[in-house]
Amino acid sequence: MQGFKASRPEEVQPVPGTELQRALRPLTPEQLRFEIDMCIGCDRCMRACPVPLSSKISIAELNKATIDDELSPLLVRFTDECVLCGSCVPVCPVDNHRDLLMLSLKERLGTSWENKADIERVRDMLPKSWSVSQLLTRLREQPMLGDEMLIPDNYLLHLVNSSQLRITQPGSWLMREGEFGRDLVLILSGRVEISSTGPGEAGLPLAVLRRGEYFGEHEMLSGQTRQTSAYAIGKCALLVIPEQVVQRLMEIVPEVRVFFESLHLERSIEAVLRRLPLLQGIATIDLRHLAEQAITRRYERGEQLFDEESQDQPERETLHLLLDGFVKVARKLPPGKGRKERIIAYRQNGDYFAGGLDMLGDQRAVKVSAITRTTVAEVPRRELLSLFRRYPEVKKRFQQQLQLYNDAKLAAQSAIFEPFQFDQEQPAASTTSNAAARAGLHALVDDGVIEGTEVLVIDLAKCIHCNECEEACERRHGHSRMNRNGLVVGNISIATACRQCQDPVCMLCSRAGIARLPSGEVYITESCIGCGICAERCPYDNISIVDLEEQQTQHQGDLWRSFSAFFSSKKRKLLPILTTPGPLDNTSPLDPAEEIRKKIAVKCDLCAGYNDQACVQACPTGAAIRVNPRTFFGSTEEILLK
């Protein structure tokens, strides 16, 4: 690749790897020159850079490459591996922005998929009777890959190189309902049966997929558990594509993203509509029409769907379907009440409510805001009214549901939701107890505890504060991944440790440095470079970044400390370099020195790979336990009714 020529300025090239930092804007030529002229060549940014290859490149080389027409293969590779994490920015003594310079360099290079793919590696992956042209023909049968103008053959070869070609035997299970997985699977040959669990745990066949079809797109886009199972009816050839590879293709070819998201939303809306008791008995064609007419909106954490004071309130009969996430429904309280709002209800994926004006059946407005990333489908009023005319029984159910909302208004005005009135004559103990109970119940949802799938809790009535749970974690992993102090609800302390969220926002990693096992454990892979983006995205501060060099220095110490540690029963180990492979680890590095990492992320992964969990096993009183918050604390609705 010596003599690599930069792209012509007039060409608009895609810039893969910038999804993590969408707010970045490229510099003008004048700004580029100013940044480079200001640089004093101290190399602090390169020492702070988490990309392993940065130890072989100086800031002077990068500055020259930013405005030069020719780049060495090493600089091209480093530019491709840069994730624009911004670690280089705060250490600059002259306030330069190396991340913006890297963005400019990425733009000039374009996508690495424009380079010629390794066709020999593709041939090595193929079955003996297959040719590369036959493989490309099979891939073109997929609806999202059929346009050669959008997706040239070279892109498809890169796609195959970053994926896994599997030949499965008849009867092989390809995915199981209830497991986690984010791979997209393309069927190149053979047949696959899709089934779902029915009454008595029996499998109910749903469909038979053939060559040219695919599965796994729902889990890839939503991050939720598998909704169906799949097994091979006969011998199958499958291309298993990691989520990160599909995301890269979506960045390069936005039409692929539009294809998947449109299909996913339509299927999700139809699936929710089909499950609603409110709409039972409606013909499939009418349900599909409702799904097609629905308007889909996405909301980030804390963003409001609508507010009581908003002029753009939804119609009374508008049906809101929650496809993903949690929302909080509240009503503002008069000034002087102590709290600003009263929580009326929580709604989660699969739930619905009828208009912002009708949550309590009294036609008064409410405020609805997203607790997690949320996708909502709104079925317009005119479509519902048309449905009511064709299905009078559905209209009757709708009216009954409104009456239930009206009845719920009484519960919503109970002591759980209303701020305690201190001017009323009540026993002091009851005052403290009720106030603490209300705060604790809402904290479970507002602080994301209910969002988790596995939470470490400590019974304070049994805890003797020996700290053995943290020390056991450190002995096993070299660095403690938990802190026993955390949110307290009643006599239960919710430890500060990864909760293995249902929708882990930390898993947006272009390098696949963080992944999820089918059983649900979110873990750090050996692809992690410690860039810190996952830690920054975790809303609960349960991921930390450890500097490997400092960690090693810390544990070496002086001779006496080393001698003492050798005979200590609680001897600390060096932080291990993780050996768990990631979904993109399919090639061996050419130079091991280029793969020596400076930092890694550290988080609880439920002791994946061990037969027990160190923190729970080490607790002498049994105070520390791992629980599913839904079953331990109850569902969001049950919590609010307690």
What is the reported pTM?
0.76
Q: Is the pLDDT of residue 411 over 60?
A: no
153-177 per-position pLDDT tens digit: 999 999 999 999 999 999 899 999 9
129-141 per-position pLDDT tens digit: 899 999 999 999 9
By residue count, the chain amounts to 642
> Average pLDDT of 34-49?
91
pLDDT for 151 equals 95
Which amino acid belongs to residue 577?
A: I
Q: Spell out a b/e string for 568-596, using b for 16 or more CB atoms within 10 Å of the CB, else e.
A: eeeeeeebeebebebbbeeeeeeeeebee
Position 491 confidence tier, pLDDT thresholds 50, 70, 90: confident
Q: Which of 100, 85, 92 is nearest to 32 (CA)?
A: 100
Q: Is the pLDDT of residue 118 over 70?
A: yes
- Which is higher by pLDDT, 560 or 330? 330
Position 438 confidence tier, pLDDT thresholds 50, 70, 90: low
Position 498 confidence tier, pLDDT thresholds 50, 70, 90: very high
Q: Which of 536, 603, 546, 599 is nearest to 23 (CA)?
A: 536
> Average pLDDT of 194-219?
83
Q: Is the pLDDT of residue 267 over 70?
A: yes
541-551 per-position pLDDT tens digit: 899 988 876 54
pLDDT for 17 equals 57
Instruction: Measure the CA–CA gap between 593 and 597, rounded to whole angstroms.
Output: 9
293-322 per-position pLDDT tens digit: 888 888 888 888 877 766 566 666 677 888
Average pLDDT over the chain, rounded to an integer: 79
In this structure, what are the phi and psi dihedrals at residue 208, rounded to the nearest 5 degrees?
-120, 120
Position 261 confidence tier, pLDDT thresholds 50, 70, 90: confident
